[in-house]
A = this chain, B = another copy of it.
Amino acid sequence: MNSMEKINQFRDDRDWRQFHQEKDLALSITLEAAELLELFQWKTSEEAKEQPERLKEELADVLIYSYMMADNLGFDIDEIIDEKLKKNALKYPIEQSKGQR
């Protein structure tokens, strides 16, 4: 099974899809992003990286809810990433963007 299939099996096994309205998924992605960000509160990047297990877990949570949202909306993960990178490439042409923040 790929990651999307595993995530869907997890929620279907528990009959949880009924709770996963998209507004609550969007809210959950934000909450998980905040939990990841919390690992950096009052810290430098270097200090935060001393907790790789916590980083793994919180980042995984962001991804899991994002995958659920994609599935709910019928989006293909790789396709929407590819489309967005193409839009970004037009907005930030290599020549003008190189080394510029």
Chain A positions near chain B (C-beta within 8 angstroms): 2-3, 6-7, 10, 13-16, 18-19, 21-24, 26-45, 48-49, 52, 55-57, 59-64, 66-67, 69-70, 73, 75, 77-78, 80-85, 87-89, 92, 94, 97-101
Instruction: Specify which chain B residues have a CB less than 8 angstroms from the CB of A85 in the assembled complex.
Output: 6-7, 10, 64
B62 & A29 in contact (Cβ 8 Å cutoff): yes
Known: A37-B30, A38-B31, A64-B84. A89 touches B59 (CB 8 A): no
A55 & B73 in contact (Cβ 8 Å cutoff): yes
B81 & A3 in contact (Cβ 8 Å cutoff): yes
B77 & A63 in contact (Cβ 8 Å cutoff): yes
Instruction: Specify which chain B residues have a CB less than 8 angstroms from the CB of A2 in the assembled complex.
Output: 78
Instruction: Specify which chain B residues have a CB less than 8 angstroms from the CB of A39 in the assembled complex.
Output: 26
A77 & B34 in contact (Cβ 8 Å cutoff): no
Instruction: State which of B18, B21, B56, B82 has its C-beta within 8 Å of the C-beta of A75.
Output: B56
